[in-house]
């Protein structure tokens, strides 16, 4: 049966009305795209992720997404009983959600790593730390990028 213009419009209108309210009310405070979520779950599994303890130093506004300095640190005594096992950094809108995984041990002395990353768009960066007691701690930062990286044409 061919759809008439009237049927289509009433259907589309219905969907809009029904769709708006749930989207507004159900969306979590920080909506993370599915890819980012999957990448995080691949590392964390089903464990609960707490907020805090991790510090993410990254400029809030960058002109060139091709090289963005970033430092991640965790307040930890770094003893054999209480240390940071690893830090995992993710992004929201690059073609791939992973940025890097960094592994530490009691011999590290300080759970801190600095590197330079690429950001393809204005987006959120998430850092998750795994402690020796297998708890996970995270922090997120919003970064505004004016010149994107990764996908531009090569000359």
Partner 1 sequence: MAALINVPSKAKRGEIIEIRTLTSHIMETGFRHTADGKLVPRNIITSFACRYNGTEIFRADLFPAIAANPYLSFFTVAKESGKFEFEWIGDNGYSSTASASITVE
Interface with partner 1 (CB under 8 A): 66-68, 71, 91, 94-96, 98-105, 107-110, 112-119, 149-155
Rg over CA atoms, the chain: 20
Q: How far is the CB of 21 from partner 1 (least distance, A)?
A: 37
Closest by CA position to 57, among listed 128, 114, 107: 114
In the bound complex, what is the minimum distance in angstroms from residue 98's beta carbon to partner 1? 4
The CA distances from residue 136 to 20, 54, 62, 84, 110, in Å, are 34, 10, 28, 10, 17
Strands 136-147 and 61-64: parallel
Of 17 and 34, which has the nearer Cβ to partner 1?
A: 34
* Nearest CB to partner 1, comparing residues 50 and 140: 140
Is residue 111 within a helix (H) or strand (E), and if so which, with residue range? strand 111-117
Nearer to partner 1 among residue 43 and residue 139 (C-beta): 43
Q: How far is the CB of 105 from partner 1 (least distance, A)?
A: 7
Please report how close the Cβ of residue 137 comes to partner 1 at its closest, in angstroms: 19
Nearer to partner 1, 71 or 146 (CB): 71
Please answer whether residues 113 and 107 qualify as being in contact, where contact means their C-beta atoms are separated by less than 8 angstroms: no
């Amino acid at each position: 049966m061919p759809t008439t213009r009237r049927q289509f419009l009433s259907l589309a209108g219905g969907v809009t009305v029904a769709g708006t309210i749930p989207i507004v009310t159900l969306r979590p405070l920080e909506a993370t795209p599915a890819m980012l979520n999957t990448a995080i779950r691949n590392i964390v599994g089903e464990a609960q992720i707490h907020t805090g303890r991790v510090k993410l130093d990254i400029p809030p506004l960058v002109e060139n997404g091709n090289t963005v300095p970033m430092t991640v640190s965790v307040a930890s005594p770094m003893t054999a009983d209480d240390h940071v096992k690893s830090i995992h950094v993710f992004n929201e809108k690059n073609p791939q959600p992973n940025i890097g995984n960094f592994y530490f041990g009691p011999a590290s002395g300080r759970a801190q790593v600095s590197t330079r990353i690429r950001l393809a768009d204005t987006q959120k960066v998430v850092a998750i730390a795994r402690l020796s007691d297998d708890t996970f701690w995270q922090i997120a930062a919003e970064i505004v990028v004016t010149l994107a990286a990764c996908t531009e044409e090569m000359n």
